[in-house]
Structure 1
Amino acid sequence: MSTFTYSGFGLNILSAIPFPELSPVSSFEQVHVNIRFGEVPAAPDGFSFSTGRISYTMNDRELLFTVAGVGKYYVAGGNTIIIHPENDAIETRLLRLFVLATAMAGILQQRHIIPMHTASVLIDGKLTLIGGHSGAGKSTTLAGLMSKQFRIFSDDIVVLAEGTDRIIHGVASYPMIKLWEQSMQAFEYEDRSFRVMPGMEKYGLFFHDDFDTNRYPINKMIVLKISDDHRFSTEHLTAGSAFAAVVEHIYKPSFFNTPEMRILKFKTITQLLQHTDVYLVARPANCAPDDLLSIVTSLI
Protein backbone atom coordinates (compact mmCIF):
# COMPACT_ATOMS: atom_id res chain seq x y z
CA MET A 1 0.00 0.00 0.00
CA SER A 2 1.30 3.46 -0.92
CA THR A 3 2.00 6.02 1.76
CA PHE A 4 2.32 9.78 1.45
CA THR A 5 4.45 12.19 3.45
CA TYR A 6 3.43 15.74 4.29
CA SER A 7 4.16 18.73 6.48
CA GLY A 8 1.19 20.43 8.11
CA PHE A 9 0.24 22.12 11.38
CA GLY A 10 3.95 22.08 12.28
CA LEU A 11 3.95 18.26 12.20
CA ASN A 12 5.33 15.49 9.98
CA ILE A 13 2.40 13.47 8.65
CA LEU A 14 2.44 9.96 7.19
CA SER A 15 -0.82 9.10 5.43
CA ALA A 16 -2.34 6.10 3.68
CA ILE A 17 -4.39 8.48 1.50
CA PRO A 18 -3.20 11.43 -0.58
CA PHE A 19 -3.97 14.93 0.70
CA PRO A 20 -3.70 17.55 -2.07
CA GLU A 21 -4.45 20.16 0.61
CA LEU A 22 -1.24 19.40 2.52
CA SER A 23 2.35 20.30 1.66
CA PRO A 24 4.25 17.23 0.38
CA VAL A 25 7.77 16.48 1.61
CA SER A 26 10.15 13.87 0.23
CA SER A 27 11.00 12.32 3.62
CA PHE A 28 11.51 12.98 7.30
CA GLU A 29 13.29 11.26 10.15
CA GLN A 30 10.40 11.27 12.61
CA VAL A 31 6.69 10.66 12.02
CA HIS A 32 4.49 12.80 14.25
CA VAL A 33 1.07 11.74 12.91
CA ASN A 34 0.01 8.52 11.17
CA ILE A 35 -3.26 8.57 9.19
CA ARG A 36 -4.80 5.27 8.04
CA PHE A 37 -8.01 3.41 7.40
CA GLY A 38 -9.16 0.76 9.86
CA GLU A 39 -11.60 -0.33 12.51
CA VAL A 40 -12.05 2.11 15.36
CA PRO A 41 -12.12 0.95 18.99
CA ALA A 42 -15.00 1.37 21.40
CA ALA A 43 -15.73 4.82 22.74
CA PRO A 44 -13.13 5.92 25.30
CA ASP A 45 -13.92 6.93 28.85
CA GLY A 46 -14.62 10.63 28.94
CA PHE A 47 -17.33 13.16 28.20
CA SER A 48 -19.70 13.04 25.23
CA PHE A 49 -21.44 15.81 23.31
CA SER A 50 -22.73 16.55 19.82
CA THR A 51 -22.77 19.54 17.47
CA GLY A 52 -25.17 19.10 14.58
CA ARG A 53 -24.17 16.09 12.50
CA ILE A 54 -21.05 15.24 14.58
CA SER A 55 -21.08 13.36 17.90
CA TYR A 56 -17.98 13.17 20.11
CA THR A 57 -16.60 11.17 23.02
CA MET A 58 -13.22 12.30 24.31
CA ASN A 59 -10.72 12.79 27.08
CA ASP A 60 -7.24 14.34 27.08
CA ARG A 61 -5.72 11.29 25.33
CA GLU A 62 -8.42 9.93 23.00
CA LEU A 63 -11.13 11.24 20.69
CA LEU A 64 -13.79 9.26 18.88
CA PHE A 65 -16.17 11.19 16.67
CA THR A 66 -18.86 10.14 14.23
CA VAL A 67 -19.97 12.23 11.26
CA ALA A 68 -23.47 11.30 10.12
CA GLY A 69 -23.39 10.00 6.55
CA VAL A 70 -19.58 9.98 6.43
CA GLY A 71 -18.01 7.67 9.02
CA LYS A 72 -16.12 7.36 12.28
CA TYR A 73 -12.73 8.77 13.25
CA TYR A 74 -10.46 7.73 16.12
CA VAL A 75 -7.67 10.02 17.30
CA ALA A 76 -5.24 8.91 20.00
CA GLY A 77 -1.96 9.73 21.69
CA GLY A 78 -1.38 12.85 19.65
CA ASN A 79 -0.02 10.65 16.85
CA THR A 80 -2.73 8.42 15.34
CA ILE A 81 -5.80 9.03 13.19
CA ILE A 82 -7.90 6.05 12.09
CA ILE A 83 -10.67 6.60 9.53
CA HIS A 84 -13.59 4.18 9.18
CA PRO A 85 -15.89 5.32 6.31
CA GLU A 86 -19.58 4.56 6.61
CA ASN A 87 -19.41 2.82 3.22
CA ASP A 88 -17.16 2.50 0.17
CA ALA A 89 -19.07 5.19 -1.74
CA ILE A 90 -18.04 8.07 0.57
CA GLU A 91 -15.96 10.62 -1.35
CA THR A 92 -12.33 10.76 -0.26
CA ARG A 93 -12.53 14.56 -0.35
CA LEU A 94 -15.26 14.44 2.28
CA LEU A 95 -13.23 12.07 4.46
CA ARG A 96 -10.20 14.36 4.22
CA LEU A 97 -12.23 17.41 5.22
CA PHE A 98 -12.91 16.02 8.70
CA VAL A 99 -9.29 14.91 9.12
CA LEU A 100 -8.00 18.41 8.40
CA ALA A 101 -10.55 19.97 10.73
CA THR A 102 -11.75 17.88 13.66
CA ALA A 103 -9.18 15.06 13.72
CA MET A 104 -6.17 17.38 13.54
CA ALA A 105 -7.70 19.56 16.26
CA GLY A 106 -7.81 16.41 18.39
CA ILE A 107 -4.16 15.69 17.61
CA LEU A 108 -3.16 19.20 18.67
CA GLN A 109 -5.23 19.03 21.85
CA GLN A 110 -3.59 15.73 22.80
CA ARG A 111 -0.18 17.31 22.17
CA HIS A 112 -1.13 20.28 24.38
CA ILE A 113 -1.01 22.72 21.47
CA ILE A 114 -3.58 25.49 20.94
CA PRO A 115 -4.95 26.04 17.39
CA MET A 116 -6.48 29.40 16.52
CA HIS A 117 -9.43 29.73 14.15
CA THR A 118 -7.87 32.62 12.25
CA ALA A 119 -6.27 33.53 8.96
CA SER A 120 -2.85 35.17 9.02
CA VAL A 121 -0.56 37.35 6.95
CA LEU A 122 3.22 37.61 7.25
CA ILE A 123 4.73 41.11 7.25
CA ASP A 124 8.41 41.81 7.97
CA GLY A 125 8.88 38.50 9.75
CA LYS A 126 5.84 38.88 12.03
CA LEU A 127 2.30 37.56 11.87
CA THR A 128 -1.04 39.33 12.03
CA LEU A 129 -3.94 37.01 12.83
CA ILE A 130 -7.39 37.81 11.44
CA GLY A 131 -10.42 36.27 13.10
CA GLY A 132 -14.17 36.63 13.03
CA HIS A 133 -17.23 34.49 13.42
CA SER A 134 -19.17 33.32 10.38
CA GLY A 135 -20.37 36.28 8.32
CA ALA A 136 -18.01 38.80 9.93
CA GLY A 137 -15.94 39.21 6.76
CA LYS A 138 -12.80 37.14 7.37
CA SER A 139 -12.96 35.31 4.07
CA THR A 140 -13.66 38.49 2.10
CA THR A 141 -10.85 40.32 3.88
CA LEU A 142 -8.40 37.51 3.13
CA ALA A 143 -9.41 37.56 -0.53
CA GLY A 144 -8.81 41.31 -0.60
CA LEU A 145 -5.40 40.98 1.04
CA MET A 146 -4.47 38.42 -1.60
CA SER A 147 -5.51 40.84 -4.34
CA LYS A 148 -3.23 43.49 -2.75
CA GLN A 149 -0.30 41.04 -2.85
CA PHE A 150 -0.04 40.58 0.91
CA ARG A 151 1.74 37.35 1.81
CA ILE A 152 -0.86 34.91 3.11
CA PHE A 153 0.67 32.68 5.76
CA SER A 154 -2.27 30.45 6.63
CA ASP A 155 -6.02 30.32 6.23
CA ASP A 156 -8.53 29.18 8.83
CA ILE A 157 -6.11 27.62 11.35
CA VAL A 158 -2.89 28.94 12.91
CA VAL A 159 -1.11 26.76 15.47
CA LEU A 160 0.39 28.47 18.52
CA ALA A 161 3.90 27.42 19.55
CA GLU A 162 6.34 28.78 22.10
CA GLY A 163 9.63 30.00 20.62
CA THR A 164 13.05 29.74 22.21
CA ASP A 165 12.59 33.39 23.24
CA ARG A 166 9.40 32.38 25.14
CA ILE A 167 7.37 34.49 22.71
CA ILE A 168 4.35 32.75 21.21
CA HIS A 169 4.82 32.07 17.51
CA GLY A 170 2.39 30.99 14.80
CA VAL A 171 2.72 27.90 12.60
CA ALA A 172 0.78 27.50 9.34
CA SER A 173 -1.70 24.65 8.94
CA TYR A 174 -1.72 23.86 5.21
CA PRO A 175 -1.38 25.66 1.86
CA MET A 176 -5.00 26.13 0.88
CA ILE A 177 -7.21 29.21 1.15
CA LYS A 178 -10.95 28.56 1.31
CA LEU A 179 -13.16 31.26 -0.19
CA TRP A 180 -16.92 31.51 -0.50
CA GLU A 181 -18.42 32.30 -3.90
CA GLN A 182 -19.22 35.85 -2.77
CA SER A 183 -15.55 36.51 -1.98
CA MET A 184 -14.47 34.90 -5.27
CA GLN A 185 -16.73 37.29 -7.15
CA ALA A 186 -15.83 40.38 -5.11
CA PHE A 187 -12.16 40.17 -6.07
CA GLU A 188 -12.58 38.39 -9.44
CA TYR A 189 -10.93 35.05 -8.65
CA GLU A 190 -11.78 32.58 -11.39
CA ASP A 191 -10.29 29.23 -10.30
CA ARG A 192 -13.19 27.07 -9.10
CA SER A 193 -11.57 23.73 -9.90
CA PHE A 194 -11.40 22.58 -6.26
CA ARG A 195 -14.69 22.60 -4.42
CA VAL A 196 -14.01 22.19 -0.70
CA MET A 197 -17.14 20.16 -0.03
CA PRO A 198 -19.71 18.63 -2.39
CA GLY A 199 -22.72 20.89 -2.79
CA MET A 200 -21.05 23.88 -1.09
CA GLU A 201 -20.10 27.06 -2.93
CA LYS A 202 -16.73 27.27 -1.23
CA TYR A 203 -13.51 26.78 -3.18
CA GLY A 204 -9.91 26.00 -2.36
CA LEU A 205 -7.06 28.05 -3.80
CA PHE A 206 -3.65 26.42 -3.34
CA PHE A 207 -0.31 28.07 -2.61
CA HIS A 208 2.03 25.08 -2.25
CA ASP A 209 4.98 26.90 -3.82
CA ASP A 210 4.76 29.71 -1.26
CA PHE A 211 3.92 27.60 1.80
CA ASP A 212 6.17 28.51 4.71
CA THR A 213 6.72 25.86 7.40
CA ASN A 214 8.73 28.19 9.64
CA ARG A 215 7.27 29.70 12.80
CA TYR A 216 7.00 33.45 13.29
CA PRO A 217 6.17 35.69 16.26
CA ILE A 218 2.62 37.05 16.41
CA ASN A 219 2.45 40.78 17.00
CA LYS A 220 -1.16 41.60 16.09
CA MET A 221 -4.61 40.06 16.04
CA ILE A 222 -7.59 41.68 14.34
CA VAL A 223 -11.07 40.46 15.25
CA LEU A 224 -13.93 41.30 12.89
CA LYS A 225 -17.58 41.57 13.88
CA ILE A 226 -20.86 43.04 12.65
CA SER A 227 -21.50 46.41 14.30
CA ASP A 228 -24.62 47.12 16.32
CA ASP A 229 -24.97 50.70 15.07
CA HIS A 230 -24.29 50.07 11.34
CA ARG A 231 -21.02 51.98 11.45
CA PHE A 232 -17.33 51.20 11.22
CA SER A 233 -15.34 51.36 14.43
CA THR A 234 -11.94 50.20 15.66
CA GLU A 235 -11.02 49.45 19.27
CA HIS A 236 -7.65 48.49 20.73
CA LEU A 237 -8.48 45.77 23.27
CA THR A 238 -6.46 45.32 26.45
CA ALA A 239 -6.40 43.15 29.57
CA GLY A 240 -9.51 41.01 30.05
CA SER A 241 -11.19 42.19 26.85
CA ALA A 242 -8.19 41.14 24.78
CA PHE A 243 -7.98 37.79 26.57
CA ALA A 244 -11.69 37.08 25.98
CA ALA A 245 -11.45 38.01 22.29
CA VAL A 246 -8.51 35.66 21.72
CA VAL A 247 -10.01 32.75 23.66
CA GLU A 248 -13.21 33.13 21.66
CA HIS A 249 -11.25 32.27 18.51
CA ILE A 250 -9.60 29.06 19.66
CA TYR A 251 -10.36 26.36 17.10
CA LYS A 252 -12.71 23.64 18.39
CA PRO A 253 -13.06 25.32 21.81
CA SER A 254 -15.04 22.40 23.24
CA PHE A 255 -11.84 20.33 23.01
CA PHE A 256 -10.12 22.61 25.52
CA ASN A 257 -12.56 22.63 28.44
CA THR A 258 -11.11 19.99 30.76
CA PRO A 259 -9.22 21.33 33.81
CA GLU A 260 -5.86 20.49 32.23
CA MET A 261 -6.78 22.17 28.95
CA ARG A 262 -8.09 25.28 30.74
CA ILE A 263 -4.71 25.72 32.39
CA LEU A 264 -3.05 25.33 28.99
CA LYS A 265 -5.38 27.95 27.48
CA PHE A 266 -4.71 30.44 30.25
CA LYS A 267 -0.93 30.07 30.10
CA THR A 268 -0.69 30.15 26.31
CA ILE A 269 -3.02 33.11 25.71
CA THR A 270 -1.55 35.11 28.60
CA GLN A 271 1.90 34.57 27.13
CA LEU A 272 0.67 35.51 23.65
CA LEU A 273 -0.79 38.80 24.87
CA GLN A 274 2.51 39.95 26.35
CA HIS A 275 3.70 40.71 22.80
CA THR A 276 0.48 40.93 20.75
CA ASP A 277 -1.85 43.88 20.16
CA VAL A 278 -5.51 42.94 19.72
CA TYR A 279 -7.92 45.10 17.71
CA LEU A 280 -11.67 44.78 17.33
CA VAL A 281 -13.05 46.03 14.01
CA ALA A 282 -16.83 46.42 13.83
CA ARG A 283 -18.40 46.87 10.42
CA PRO A 284 -21.90 47.40 9.01
CA ALA A 285 -23.72 44.24 7.96
CA ASN A 286 -23.73 45.54 4.40
CA CYS A 287 -20.54 47.30 3.39
CA ALA A 288 -18.26 47.46 0.38
CA PRO A 289 -15.43 44.88 0.66
CA ASP A 290 -12.87 47.58 -0.16
CA ASP A 291 -14.05 49.73 2.77
CA LEU A 292 -13.46 46.90 5.25
CA LEU A 293 -10.17 46.04 3.56
CA SER A 294 -8.99 49.64 3.90
CA ILE A 295 -9.52 49.59 7.67
CA VAL A 296 -7.81 46.21 8.12
CA THR A 297 -4.79 47.23 6.05
CA SER A 298 -4.41 50.41 8.10
CA LEU A 299 -3.93 48.24 11.19
CA ILE A 300 -1.41 45.81 9.74
Structure 2
Amino acid sequence: MTPLKHARTDVLDIAYVETGPADGPAVVLLHGYPYDVHSYAEVAPLLARQGYRVFVPYLRGHGPTRFLDEQAPRSGQQAALGADVVALLDALEIPRAVLAGYDWGGRAACVVAATWPERVTGLVSVNGYLIQDIAASGRPIQPELEAGFWYFYYFLTERGRAGLTADPRGIAEVIWRRNSPAWPFDQATLDRTAVSFENPDYVEVVLHSYRHRLGHAPGAPEYDVLERALSLTPAITVPTVTLEGEADGNFPVHEGLPDTGRFTGPRRHHRVPAAGHNLPQEAPEAFAGAVHEVVDLGTTGISMQESR
Protein backbone atom coordinates (compact mmCIF):
# COMPACT_ATOMS: atom_id res chain seq x y z
CA MET A 1 0.00 0.00 0.00
CA THR A 2 1.14 3.59 -0.69
CA PRO A 3 1.97 6.09 2.10
CA LEU A 4 -0.88 7.31 4.27
CA LYS A 5 -2.68 10.60 3.86
CA HIS A 6 -5.09 12.27 6.27
CA ALA A 7 -8.42 14.08 5.86
CA ARG A 8 -10.08 16.03 8.64
CA THR A 9 -13.87 15.97 9.00
CA ASP A 10 -16.07 17.44 11.71
CA VAL A 11 -15.58 14.29 13.83
CA LEU A 12 -12.46 12.45 12.69
CA ASP A 13 -8.95 12.69 11.39
CA ILE A 14 -9.30 9.93 8.80
CA ALA A 15 -6.18 8.12 7.66
CA TYR A 16 -6.40 6.78 4.13
CA VAL A 17 -4.40 5.40 1.24
CA GLU A 18 -4.76 7.06 -2.17
CA THR A 19 -3.55 5.65 -5.46
CA GLY A 20 -4.26 6.16 -9.15
CA PRO A 21 -4.47 9.23 -11.39
CA ALA A 22 -5.82 12.41 -9.80
CA ASP A 23 -8.27 12.92 -12.67
CA GLY A 24 -9.62 9.36 -12.64
CA PRO A 25 -13.14 8.34 -11.54
CA ALA A 26 -13.24 8.21 -7.74
CA VAL A 27 -13.60 4.88 -5.96
CA VAL A 28 -13.77 4.49 -2.17
CA LEU A 29 -12.96 1.00 -0.84
CA LEU A 30 -14.30 0.28 2.66
CA HIS A 31 -13.04 -2.50 4.91
CA GLY A 32 -14.89 -4.61 7.44
CA TYR A 33 -14.42 -5.92 10.99
CA PRO A 34 -12.02 -7.34 12.11
CA TYR A 35 -9.97 -6.28 9.12
CA ASP A 36 -8.37 -3.10 7.79
CA VAL A 37 -7.14 -1.40 4.61
CA HIS A 38 -4.91 -4.35 3.74
CA SER A 39 -8.02 -6.12 2.49
CA TYR A 40 -7.50 -3.95 -0.59
CA ALA A 41 -3.72 -4.31 -0.93
CA GLU A 42 -4.19 -5.96 -4.33
CA VAL A 43 -7.52 -4.45 -5.39
CA ALA A 44 -6.38 -0.81 -5.11
CA PRO A 45 -3.41 -1.09 -7.50
CA LEU A 46 -5.48 -3.14 -9.95
CA LEU A 47 -8.03 -0.32 -10.12
CA ALA A 48 -5.35 2.37 -10.23
CA ARG A 49 -3.80 0.72 -13.27
CA GLN A 50 -7.22 0.86 -14.92
CA GLY A 51 -7.33 4.64 -14.42
CA TYR A 52 -9.38 4.97 -11.23
CA ARG A 53 -8.53 7.34 -8.39
CA VAL A 54 -8.76 5.02 -5.40
CA PHE A 55 -9.22 5.89 -1.72
CA VAL A 56 -8.96 3.29 1.05
CA PRO A 57 -9.75 4.79 4.48
CA TYR A 58 -9.31 3.26 7.90
CA LEU A 59 -12.75 3.17 9.51
CA ARG A 60 -13.32 4.91 12.84
CA GLY A 61 -11.62 3.03 15.66
CA HIS A 62 -9.09 1.42 13.31
CA GLY A 63 -5.47 2.12 12.49
CA PRO A 64 -4.34 5.77 12.57
CA THR A 65 -7.87 7.24 12.23
CA ARG A 66 -8.63 9.33 15.33
CA PHE A 67 -11.49 11.23 16.92
CA LEU A 68 -10.91 14.98 17.16
CA ASP A 69 -12.83 15.37 20.42
CA GLU A 70 -11.86 13.26 23.42
CA GLN A 71 -15.43 13.51 24.67
CA ALA A 72 -17.16 12.47 21.44
CA PRO A 73 -19.18 9.24 21.64
CA ARG A 74 -17.20 6.29 20.32
CA SER A 75 -20.16 5.13 18.27
CA GLY A 76 -19.86 2.18 15.94
CA GLN A 77 -23.48 2.30 14.74
CA GLN A 78 -24.31 2.05 11.05
CA ALA A 79 -25.38 5.69 10.77
CA ALA A 80 -22.00 6.85 12.08
CA LEU A 81 -20.13 4.70 9.58
CA GLY A 82 -22.22 6.02 6.70
CA ALA A 83 -21.92 9.64 7.83
CA ASP A 84 -18.14 9.22 8.00
CA VAL A 85 -18.04 8.27 4.31
CA VAL A 86 -20.01 11.35 3.26
CA ALA A 87 -17.83 13.55 5.47
CA LEU A 88 -14.73 12.05 3.84
CA LEU A 89 -16.08 12.78 0.36
CA ASP A 90 -16.75 16.36 1.47
CA ALA A 91 -13.27 16.76 2.94
CA LEU A 92 -11.70 15.45 -0.28
CA GLU A 93 -14.02 17.63 -2.40
CA ILE A 94 -15.31 14.60 -4.29
CA PRO A 95 -18.92 15.13 -5.39
CA ARG A 96 -19.59 11.49 -6.36
CA ALA A 97 -17.78 8.18 -6.14
CA VAL A 98 -18.17 4.46 -6.52
CA LEU A 99 -18.47 2.98 -3.04
CA ALA A 100 -17.37 -0.62 -2.60
CA GLY A 101 -17.10 -2.70 0.54
CA TYR A 102 -17.86 -5.74 2.64
CA ASP A 103 -19.01 -6.26 6.23
CA TRP A 104 -18.89 -2.91 8.12
CA GLY A 105 -17.58 -1.20 4.99
CA GLY A 106 -20.30 -2.68 2.81
CA ARG A 107 -22.88 -1.50 5.33
CA ALA A 108 -21.47 2.03 5.29
CA ALA A 109 -21.59 2.00 1.50
CA CYS A 110 -25.20 0.78 1.51
CA VAL A 111 -26.17 3.50 4.01
CA VAL A 112 -24.77 6.22 1.78
CA ALA A 113 -26.23 4.71 -1.40
CA ALA A 114 -29.69 4.55 0.18
CA THR A 115 -29.73 7.97 1.84
CA TRP A 116 -27.32 10.09 -0.26
CA PRO A 117 -27.74 8.55 -3.74
CA GLU A 118 -26.62 11.78 -5.39
CA ARG A 119 -23.12 11.13 -3.97
CA VAL A 120 -22.83 7.58 -5.34
CA THR A 121 -21.87 6.68 -8.91
CA GLY A 122 -22.28 2.99 -8.19
CA LEU A 123 -22.26 0.47 -5.34
CA VAL A 124 -20.40 -2.82 -4.89
CA SER A 125 -21.59 -4.72 -1.82
CA VAL A 126 -20.54 -8.16 -0.62
CA ASN A 127 -23.48 -10.14 0.83
CA GLY A 128 -26.11 -7.83 -0.63
CA TYR A 129 -28.21 -5.31 1.28
CA LEU A 130 -26.49 -4.65 4.60
CA ILE A 131 -28.55 -1.91 6.26
CA GLN A 132 -29.54 -3.27 9.66
CA ASP A 133 -33.16 -3.70 10.67
CA ILE A 134 -32.49 -3.06 14.34
CA ALA A 135 -36.16 -3.40 15.28
CA ALA A 136 -35.96 -7.02 14.13
CA SER A 137 -32.68 -7.79 15.90
CA GLY A 138 -34.40 -10.03 18.45
CA ARG A 139 -35.54 -12.52 15.84
CA PRO A 140 -33.45 -15.71 15.94
CA ILE A 141 -31.83 -17.26 12.90
CA GLN A 142 -30.77 -20.85 12.25
CA PRO A 143 -28.69 -22.23 15.14
CA GLU A 144 -25.68 -23.08 12.96
CA LEU A 145 -25.62 -19.49 11.73
CA GLU A 146 -26.08 -18.07 15.23
CA ALA A 147 -22.99 -20.05 16.27
CA GLY A 148 -20.88 -18.10 13.79
CA PHE A 149 -21.96 -14.85 15.41
CA TRP A 150 -20.76 -15.82 18.89
CA TYR A 151 -18.84 -12.57 19.20
CA PHE A 152 -22.03 -10.50 18.79
CA TYR A 153 -23.23 -11.86 22.13
CA TYR A 154 -19.78 -11.98 23.73
CA PHE A 155 -19.44 -8.24 23.11
CA LEU A 156 -22.66 -7.57 24.99
CA THR A 157 -20.88 -8.56 28.20
CA GLU A 158 -18.15 -7.01 30.30
CA ARG A 159 -16.31 -10.30 29.91
CA GLY A 160 -16.34 -9.59 26.19
CA ARG A 161 -14.92 -6.11 26.80
CA ALA A 162 -12.10 -7.62 28.85
CA GLY A 163 -11.44 -10.29 26.22
CA LEU A 164 -11.35 -7.84 23.31
CA THR A 165 -9.08 -5.52 25.28
CA ALA A 166 -6.70 -8.33 26.20
CA ASP A 167 -6.45 -10.14 22.86
CA PRO A 168 -8.01 -8.40 19.83
CA ARG A 169 -5.71 -10.32 17.50
CA GLY A 170 -6.75 -13.69 18.91
CA ILE A 171 -10.44 -12.86 18.53
CA ALA A 172 -9.83 -11.70 14.98
CA GLU A 173 -8.06 -14.94 14.11
CA VAL A 174 -11.02 -17.03 15.30
CA ILE A 175 -13.42 -14.86 13.27
CA TRP A 176 -11.20 -14.96 10.16
CA ARG A 177 -11.05 -18.76 10.23
CA ARG A 178 -14.81 -19.07 10.61
CA ASN A 179 -15.57 -16.39 8.03
CA SER A 180 -13.17 -17.73 5.40
CA PRO A 181 -12.48 -21.45 5.92
CA ALA A 182 -10.87 -21.80 2.46
CA TRP A 183 -8.53 -18.79 2.82
CA PRO A 184 -4.99 -19.96 3.69
CA PHE A 185 -3.82 -16.71 5.31
CA ASP A 186 -0.54 -16.82 7.22
CA GLN A 187 0.37 -15.30 10.56
CA ALA A 188 2.24 -12.42 8.90
CA THR A 189 -0.96 -11.40 7.09
CA LEU A 190 -2.90 -11.40 10.36
CA ASP A 191 -0.11 -9.54 12.17
CA ARG A 192 -0.11 -6.81 9.52
CA THR A 193 -3.81 -6.15 10.04
CA ALA A 194 -3.74 -6.59 13.83
CA VAL A 195 -1.67 -3.42 14.13
CA SER A 196 -4.90 -1.55 13.32
CA PHE A 197 -6.52 -2.96 16.46
CA GLU A 198 -4.09 -0.94 18.61
CA ASN A 199 -6.18 2.19 17.97
CA PRO A 200 -7.17 3.63 21.40
CA ASP A 201 -10.84 3.74 20.37
CA TYR A 202 -10.99 0.25 18.84
CA VAL A 203 -12.59 -1.55 21.76
CA GLU A 204 -15.27 1.06 22.42
CA VAL A 205 -16.23 1.45 18.75
CA VAL A 206 -16.45 -2.32 18.23
CA LEU A 207 -18.46 -2.92 21.40
CA HIS A 208 -20.88 -0.14 20.54
CA SER A 209 -21.39 -1.46 17.02
CA TYR A 210 -22.59 -4.84 18.24
CA ARG A 211 -24.46 -3.59 21.28
CA HIS A 212 -26.34 -1.01 19.22
CA ARG A 213 -27.31 -3.38 16.41
CA LEU A 214 -28.78 -5.82 18.95
CA GLY A 215 -30.71 -3.10 20.76
CA HIS A 216 -28.51 -3.14 23.88
CA ALA A 217 -27.05 0.36 23.57
CA PRO A 218 -28.53 3.68 22.46
CA GLY A 219 -27.18 5.46 19.44
CA ALA A 220 -25.33 8.74 19.60
CA PRO A 221 -27.91 11.56 19.45
CA GLU A 222 -26.27 13.21 16.45
CA TYR A 223 -27.21 10.18 14.34
CA ASP A 224 -30.84 9.87 15.48
CA VAL A 225 -32.33 11.37 12.31
CA LEU A 226 -30.29 9.12 10.05
CA GLU A 227 -31.03 6.03 12.14
CA ARG A 228 -34.76 6.75 11.87
CA ALA A 229 -34.41 6.90 8.10
CA LEU A 230 -32.48 3.62 8.10
CA SER A 231 -35.13 1.97 10.27
CA LEU A 232 -37.38 2.06 7.19
CA THR A 233 -34.80 -0.10 5.35
CA PRO A 234 -34.81 2.24 2.34
CA ALA A 235 -34.33 0.88 -1.16
CA ILE A 236 -31.05 1.43 -2.99
CA THR A 237 -31.59 3.01 -6.39
CA VAL A 238 -28.02 3.49 -7.64
CA PRO A 239 -26.35 1.02 -10.05
CA THR A 240 -25.22 -1.94 -7.96
CA VAL A 241 -23.15 -5.09 -8.24
CA THR A 242 -23.55 -7.52 -5.35
CA LEU A 243 -21.18 -10.39 -4.64
CA GLU A 244 -21.33 -13.58 -2.60
CA GLY A 245 -18.36 -15.75 -1.74
CA GLU A 246 -19.20 -19.39 -2.18
CA ALA A 247 -16.84 -20.26 0.69
CA ASP A 248 -18.21 -17.69 3.15
CA GLY A 249 -18.39 -19.51 6.47
CA ASN A 250 -21.11 -17.33 7.97
CA PHE A 251 -23.23 -16.25 5.00
CA PRO A 252 -24.39 -19.17 2.83
CA VAL A 253 -25.03 -18.29 -0.79
CA HIS A 254 -28.61 -17.62 -1.78
CA GLU A 255 -30.69 -19.51 -4.24
CA GLY A 256 -31.48 -17.03 -6.99
CA LEU A 257 -31.08 -13.28 -6.58
CA PRO A 258 -30.91 -12.10 -2.94
CA ASP A 259 -32.57 -8.96 -1.58
CA THR A 260 -34.54 -8.32 -4.75
CA GLY A 261 -36.86 -5.78 -3.14
CA ARG A 262 -34.01 -3.75 -1.70
CA PHE A 263 -32.33 -2.79 -4.99
CA THR A 264 -34.55 -0.93 -7.42
CA GLY A 265 -31.94 0.39 -9.86
CA PRO A 266 -29.77 -1.46 -12.36
CA ARG A 267 -28.15 -4.39 -10.62
CA ARG A 268 -26.05 -7.50 -11.24
CA HIS A 269 -25.15 -10.29 -8.85
CA HIS A 270 -22.25 -12.75 -8.88
CA ARG A 271 -21.14 -15.73 -6.87
CA VAL A 272 -17.38 -15.93 -6.43
CA PRO A 273 -15.98 -19.47 -6.19
CA ALA A 274 -13.69 -20.32 -3.25
CA ALA A 275 -13.99 -16.82 -1.74
CA GLY A 276 -14.98 -16.21 1.87
CA HIS A 277 -16.20 -13.19 3.78
CA ASN A 278 -13.09 -11.05 3.24
CA LEU A 279 -13.75 -11.24 -0.48
CA PRO A 280 -11.53 -8.40 -1.79
CA GLN A 281 -8.44 -9.89 -0.16
CA GLU A 282 -9.32 -13.45 -1.13
CA ALA A 283 -10.47 -12.74 -4.70
CA PRO A 284 -9.03 -9.32 -5.64
CA GLU A 285 -9.54 -9.66 -9.38
CA ALA A 286 -13.23 -10.52 -8.94
CA PHE A 287 -13.72 -7.54 -6.63
CA ALA A 288 -11.89 -5.13 -8.91
CA GLY A 289 -13.89 -6.49 -11.81
CA ALA A 290 -17.12 -5.71 -9.95
CA VAL A 291 -16.05 -2.09 -9.54
CA HIS A 292 -15.36 -1.77 -13.25
CA GLU A 293 -18.65 -3.53 -14.01
CA VAL A 294 -20.73 -1.20 -11.86
CA VAL A 295 -19.26 1.82 -13.66
CA ASP A 296 -20.31 0.26 -16.97
CA LEU A 297 -23.70 -0.59 -15.50
CA GLY A 298 -24.26 3.04 -14.58
CA THR A 299 -23.43 4.05 -18.13
CA THR A 300 -25.58 1.46 -19.91
CA GLY A 301 -28.47 1.39 -17.44
CA ILE A 302 -29.13 -2.31 -18.07
CA SER A 303 -32.07 -3.61 -16.07
CA MET A 304 -31.68 -5.93 -13.11
CA GLN A 305 -30.26 -9.33 -13.87
CA GLU A 306 -28.31 -12.09 -12.19
CA SER A 307 -24.91 -13.27 -13.30
CA ARG A 308 -23.25 -16.32 -11.80
Q: Structure 1 length as normaliser, TM-score?
A: 0.29
Q: Which has the larger radius of gyration?
A: 1
Instruction: Please state which structure has a larger fraction of its residues in helix.
Output: 2
Answer 1 or 2: higher relative contact order, Cα 8 Å, separation at least 6.
2
